[in-house]
Amino acid sequence: MHFILGLLGTIVTILVLLSRLADAGISLGGLNPFLWKRRKDWQSQHDANPIFNVDNPMEISALLLTAAAKIDGDISTEQKEFVLTVFRDEFHRSEKEAAGLLASSNYLLGDGQAIQHALPQVLKPSLAQFSEQQAKSTINILQRLCDLDTHPSELRLEFNEQVKKRLLEPFEPKEEWS
């Protein structure tokens, strides 16, 4: 019986000491592994490139279109006009919203290396929301952008093929078991 009283006294002492440390501003909450994991997950999501979190089909289409126009370097004037026209006519945005969408897409892309080298990861959050019509429309728009140049670059053609393959992948007929 005396060892139970000693154990209870030790537990109460530890709890009182922890309370006094917390009152003094020393928190031991950082030792909580669940809190540590939540903080680490939030930090990795916060520090990640934002293009990997875009899940709206229209926004990802705008990113893809801007990336295709920007793939050879800066966007030419006729490519910029084409992109703005697509944003207005196809995406049904006002002049101001179309310019904002182009500016935000351009900002998110940065140098464009992330979308070129990690296209599956960029498309992953939004691929489930794409309808077949939206996927085909995006591919058609990218092809029209490619047709603006008399001699489109190999890099742009390769990017268009990668996008086409990734966007149409969920809509391909599945093989039956034989």
Q: Give a yes or no: residue 14 inside a domain.
A: no
How many domains does the structure of the chain reveal? Answer: 1
**Please, are residues 170 and 127 in contact by the beta-carbon 8 Å criterion?**
yes
Tell me, yes or no, whether 112 lies in a domain: yes
Residue 39 lies in a domain: no
In this structure, is residue 15 part of a structural domain? no
Residue 177 has pLDDT above 90, yes or no: no
Residue 62's nearest CA partner among 85, 33, 41, 45 is 85
- Reported as a single tens digit per residue, the pLDDT across 105-160 is 999 888 878 888 888 998 988 888 888 899 999 999 999 998 888 788 888 889 99
The answer as to whether 36 is a domain residue is no
Q: Which two tokens stand for residue 14?
A: 């530890």
Residue 158 domain boundaries: 50-171
pLDDT tens string 32-82: 788 889 989 989 888 888 888 888 999 999 999 999 998 888 888 999 999
Indicate the DSSP class of residue 64: H
